[in-house]
Structures are given as structure tokens and as C-alpha cells.
Structure 1
């Protein structure tokens, strides 16, 4: 496909965020907050312009625009409201816990942080994207406690998401205090998922030091590796590269992923397709329903967390095809480690070719600004696996 055809295809693609110029007052709030410089003022017209190729659909512009000039596919006010109405009945709780995907822990940690044993979970790419209206709607539908679990400012994948959240919650609590809800109706706490090291297993090979994009791993002296957890951003690349299995990523430990693979593979129909997907590469709408009966998706904190061991384990459990969906290097929220993930998958693919399984493993890059790309990649890969299984009589 030539460059012109590619450009025309991109232009025709459905995008996840649109700016309605009829409503935009060019107030510059969105452009001042955009972490990716996707929103700028046109020097000639003075109008705000959206450069969709730079957009990562963090949603900060959508949640802060006073004129409501943005239309967004993921986690808009209507879908969030529908989710809360349904989830309130499903979980039979009046407590809401909203978590950033980058900091969302397991149930026990939520219980420890907020002292709740029963709650409505809402995990979003960034809590800064939740409009004020959603908090107010939650309270009016009978939710009595709203707990926010955000990343630390330095940990935030969207740069300004956590600071925006803190300011928004402060303003909302002041307003709610005037309305009789008390001054602490919305509770904000911080959490970050970090690497854990088992020093008894560590062989000080230096792999983690070499691969860490944040210089969080240090080889202090021969035989001693340490981690500066303040610098760790939880990408998980060091975990995947550790030959001694001495590293784990909080909430995404090897055993947990293995258990998840076993569970999902047992409930799938054939041909079984398992997707390891970077949680930043594409977002699933809250009311999108379940995937096809033969497809299951594991969202990871980064494609770098995809361990070759887990890919092999999936095949061993009877999965017919494994798809890795990652951000491109330019879109990567983890210092371009997605390129290293692609290399690891390519190396594993070469080894799988020796036993005829290389066509069952595929790596692709997608972007949240083009919501149909992931589905397109998945559909094409699914068709390829169906063809392979048909030839082998494994339909």
C-alpha cells in the first residue's frame, strides 16, 4: 500500500476523540492540560486544533472542557452513568472505588487502603478523565462513599492526570460540603504498582539493570542488585527478562497470570485465541459486552510484562493462537519499551518455528485514538487461526 493510500485510510478511520468547533470557545484550557501536545491554537485563526496523531485519549480535555466541545468514545458521561446504575445493583453496594489502571491493586489492597469489603469497582485509564458530573450523578443515585485511587504525580502515565484529579477532588469536596455532604465526601489516596525482588533468588546477572528504562535497577557491587522504587514505573520489563525468576510486579505476579491463563483457556471454545494486551494500547468501552466465546483478553500494565513463559504456557493449556497487542514505540507510555517486547516475541517466534507454531503467535501495534484497529487486527488473526485449525482438523 503506497503512502497516499495509507494516508487516505487513516483519514477515513473512526477516531476516539473529536473536537466540535461549533462549541469550542478556544479558551486554551484543554491545550494547557494536554500531556501530548495534541491540542494547540492555530496561529492564524486563533482556534483550537486537535492533532489526532498525537492524541492518547487520556480524556483530560473531555473532562475539563467547560463548553463540552469534545466527543469521546471511551468512558463518556453516559456510559459511565449506565455502568454505575448497573454495577450498583450487581455489587449491591453504596461504595464506589475509582482506580487508575496504572495503580489498580487487588481486592485485599483496596480493603487495606479504604477499609471496605464490598464496593463498586471502576477502573479507568486515568481518574483525571472522570467529569465532575459523574461524581454528582453517583451521589444522586444513592452512592454514599466515593473513593479515588490515583497514581502519584511522578508515576502518572498521562503526566498531568493525577494533579488534575487532586485539584478536581478538592473543588468538588468544597462544593459538596456546601450542599450538605460533608467536606470529605470524596476520598483520594495514592497507589503505585512496583517491582518486588527476591534477593535469595537474584543471581546479579544485570539483565534488569540493562533493560530498565528508568534506571531504577542498580548493580551496586558484584552480586548485589537493588531497586530505587521511587524511579520504578511498573512496566514489568525487568520481570520478563529475569532468568532467575527473582522479580515480580505487584498485582501481576507470575502465578496470578498463570492462574488466569488456566481459567480463561478452560472456558474458551475452539479455536481458542488468547490476547495479551497493553492496557494503554486500546480501551474497551464499559458497556461493550463480553468478547466472542473463543476469545479472551488479558490486559497487562505494559506489553513488556508479556513473559515468553506465559505464551508457551498458553499453548500448553490448549490455546490455538496468541496475539500480543502493544503500543507503537512513539505511543508507548513506558519509555518506548514496546519495541523490546516486539523483539522478544520475534525471538520466541523463531524458536516456535522449529515446532511449526510460529504462525500461531502474532505481535501487532494499535492505538487508542483509532478504536477499530484492535478489532481489525483481532479479526484478521482469528481468521488465520481458523484456517490453520481447519487444516489440522481442530475446528
Structure 2
């Protein structure tokens, strides 16, 4: 791995106090500690860039490229000035509720629905305690942390860590005279939507679910155990009648979103048109800065919760309905937050590539494994793909 990739997260040894908090708190055992000297270092190959160590370091010795303290504060400050909002809503990247659901949550908390600042993070456990105090000083009146259920947390301990931090923060704020409910915690986990009227009882979902969250019923449609559901979308991928779909990523919803994008880009005379399906944990910079990374290249992105939740049919539809090329940006096997069921996705991609090859469309599709550790890798790959698609389009003209 090149030197460029090793600076995404690093420990500044000049500041490190050897307290080993980061070593003890890392959910991926990506921090090594020398037993004799106490020196700690990050194993970048194991690191998932969740940022939990960064927010836990008491002496700010850990430096991180994505979502660092200064950039988070700067973003909130700019949004407060732009919108006049008084509420900050913190959400986990892979478990973000829809805009409508956020408004429903705010309504339940008795807060204004008009203006709020949404802040998505890879993990809620990344939020430093100091950040809460800082944004309140900037003018935020309410902080709502929408957290994953403990069992749903993709970063294993992130939700628990953030819950403890917010509990301590609330106690300190109360002592300082802030209202008791200044900081609110709401548990939320994305689940599947099940329409039993469409179900034909084929039980494919039962056999495919990697979390044993669907049970077969005698002489009845399958039963979903929502407490076990991880929202991976594997069941939705195999359902032949769309009776079971992932909330927020329903087939018709996804189809409408990229088709509308194609129409808009065509109307603007853009060419070539590129659609990027992107796993929510694979490429932070492009997803958070689409104006600079994607839009200027006539590319639009559509996030998917996981590699296996990408229905191959969408790739074919996109290529047949306006897009010149489609790229799927996915996590590597070692980075996947939903390891179970990955073999299903691999088989689906093999079938997709075989179909595209028969239709002479394979060169217009690109599968790229990305990681937040890889600085600039996605942009280079996207540029190469666009050049290839442009050449193909000129050849067809």
C-alpha cells in the first residue's frame, strides 16, 4: 500500500501520552501497543476509519482525514448561518432515516420541523464530547442523536460509546444550567418493509437471510423477526415479486431516482452520463462532496446500504434508459460491514456481467472496490472510466 494511503488515520507520537485508551476502545483491533514502551500505532490494513479512537483521545494525538473536529464544527457553523436553524440532528451514515422520518422524529420530540442541520457520520461513536459543547456555543438549542440499536451498530461498539458520552455530556450541561432535554437520544434502525399481499410463499427470503431474521410458517407467508433484522437487503434482492423491500430503497423508489437524474442531465446537454451506485461505507469523500467529485464529471450517485443490496436489474435499466456508463463502488471483502451473504452478491454480479457481455454492454459497466483508506483512488478510477465510456460512445456514433 502506498504512502498516500497511510495518512488517513495516524497517531502523532509527539502528542501521544501512551494512555492506551485508543488501544482498548478500537472495535477492530487495529491499534497495536508495544508492551514494553507503551507506544501505540495504527494498523491501517485493519482500520475501518470509524473515528472512535479519534474522538476518544484525551490529548488529540490522533489525526484523521475524514470528519475531523474542525471540519465538523465548520460545517455546523456554516449551516447555522445559512439556515438559521436551532436543531442539530446527528445520524449514522448507514442507518440514516429519510427526510420524512427525521421530521416525524423531530415532531415526536416537540421540535420545529422547518429548520434543522443534518449531520451524517460513519458512526455516532465518532462524536467527541467537546463537539457537543462547541455547537451549543455556536447557537444550537437542541441536539438530537439518532443512533442505531446496539445490535445493529456496524462499528460494533459505536452506539454504546456514544450513548455513554452523551449521558455524561447531559449531566455536565445540566450542571451548567442547560435544559435537561437539550441533548436527546433516539434509537432507530432501518428495517425491511413487508407486503404479505404480494408474497407467494416461495421462502427464498427465509433461506437467504444471513441473520436468521425470517422464519417459514406452515401454510402461511414467512414471518419477519424485526429484532433480528439488520437491514442488509439480502432478502429484497431475491424476492421475485418485490413483496419484501428495504425501507428507503424500494425498487420503484430507486428506479425513479436515477431515471429522473438521467432526464435532468440530458436536458442540460451533459455527456457522457455516468451513474455511480455507491456503498455507504466505501467512499466518504465522493458521497459527502458530490459537487466537486461527481457533478462536475456529469456523474450522479445513488447510495446503497450494502454491496448485496444492489439489484443487478438496476444496472441494466440504467444503461438502457439514458446512462452511458454505470459504476458500482463497493467495499472490499475485508471492509464489508455486513459480511454474511456476500457470496450472494458475488453470484449476482457474475450473472450480471455475463448478461452484459451477451448484450455487448459489459465495457459500459465498472465494478470498483474502494475504502476510506484509499485517498483519491475513486476519483482516478472514475476519471478513467469516463474516458473509456466517452471513447465507446464516439465509436458508436
TM over 0.5: yes
Q: Relative to 1, partners in 2 of residues 1:25 and 1:322: Cα closer, same or farther, differing over 3 Å? A: same
Q: For residues 23-42 of structure 1, what are the structure 2 equivalents within 5 Å?
A: 23-42=15-34
Between 40-49 and 116-125, the greater mean CA deviation after superposition:
40-49
Residue number in structure 1 paired with 2:64: 72
Q: TM-score, normalised by structure 2?
A: 0.92
Residue pair 1:216, 1:231 contacting (<8 A) in 2 also: yes
Residue pair 1:101, 1:124 contacting (<8 A) in 2 also: yes
Residue number in structure 2 paired with 1:310: 314
Residue pair 1:203, 1:223 contacting (<8 A) in 2 also: no
Q: TM-score, normalised by structure 1?
A: 0.92
Between 40-49 and 350-359, the greater mean CA deviation after superposition:
40-49
Gaps of 5+ in 2: none
2:103 corresponds, among 98, 111, 115, to 111
Q: Does 1:272 align with 2:276?
A: no
Counterparts of 1:381 and 1:344 in 2: how far apart (Å)?
A: 22
Counterparts of 1:92 and 1:43 in 2: how far apart (Å)?
A: 51
Residue number in structure 1 paired with 2:359: 355
1:56 corresponds, among 38, 48, 54, to 48
Instruction: Report the CA distance between 1:55 and its aligned residue.
Output: 0.4
What SS class does the counterpart of residue 53 from structure 1 fall into? coil
Counterparts of 1:204 and 1:328 in 2: how far apart (Å)?
A: 34
Q: Does 1:254 align with 2:251?
A: yes
Residue number in structure 2 paired with 1:367: 371
Counterparts of 1:343 and 1:362 in 2: how far apart (Å)?
A: 16
Residue number in structure 2 paired with 1:227: 224
Residue number in structure 1 paired with 2:205: 208
Gaps of 5+ in 1: 1-8
Instruction: Report the CA distance between 1:353 and its aligned residue.
Output: 1.7
Aligned residues: 385
Residue pair 2:277, 2:326 contacting (<8 A) in 1 also: yes
Instruction: Report the CA distance between 1:11 and its aligned residue.
Output: 4.2
Between 293-302 and 60-69, the greater mean CA deviation after superposition:
293-302
Counterparts of 1:12 and 1:248 in 2: how far apart (Å)?
A: 40
Q: Relative to 1, partners in 2 of residues 1:300 and 1:90: Cα closer, same or farther, differing over 3 Å? A: farther
Residue pair 1:345, 1:363 contacting (<8 A) in 2 also: no
Once the two structures are superposed, what CA deviation does each residue of 1:206-250 show, in whole Å capped at 9, x if it has no partner? 322222111112223355311111111111121112112111111
Instruction: Report the CA distance between 1:289 and its aligned residue.
Output: 4.0
Residue pair 1:342, 1:363 contacting (<8 A) in 2 also: no
Residue pair 1:248, 1:254 contacting (<8 A) in 2 also: yes
Counterparts of 1:59 and 1:65 in 2: how far apart (Å)?
A: 10
What SS class does the counterpart of residue 94 from structure 2 fall into? coil
Between 163-172 and 344-353, the greater mean CA deviation after superposition:
344-353
Q: For residues 75-224 of structure 1, what are the structure 2 equivalents within 5 Å?
A: 75-115=67-107, 116-118=112-114, 119-221=116-218, 223-224=220-221
Residue number in structure 2 paired with 1:4: none
Once the two structures are superposed, what CA deviation does each residue of 1:244-270 show, in whole Å capped at 9, x if it has no partner? 211111122222212211222223321
Q: Relative to 1, partners in 2 of residues 1:25 and 1:254: Cα closer, same or farther, differing over 3 Å? A: same
Q: Does 1:390 align with 2:394?
A: yes
Counterparts of 1:211 and 1:383 in 2: how far apart (Å)?
A: 38
Q: Does 1:326 align with 2:318?
A: no
1:380 corresponds, among 374, 384, 391, to 384
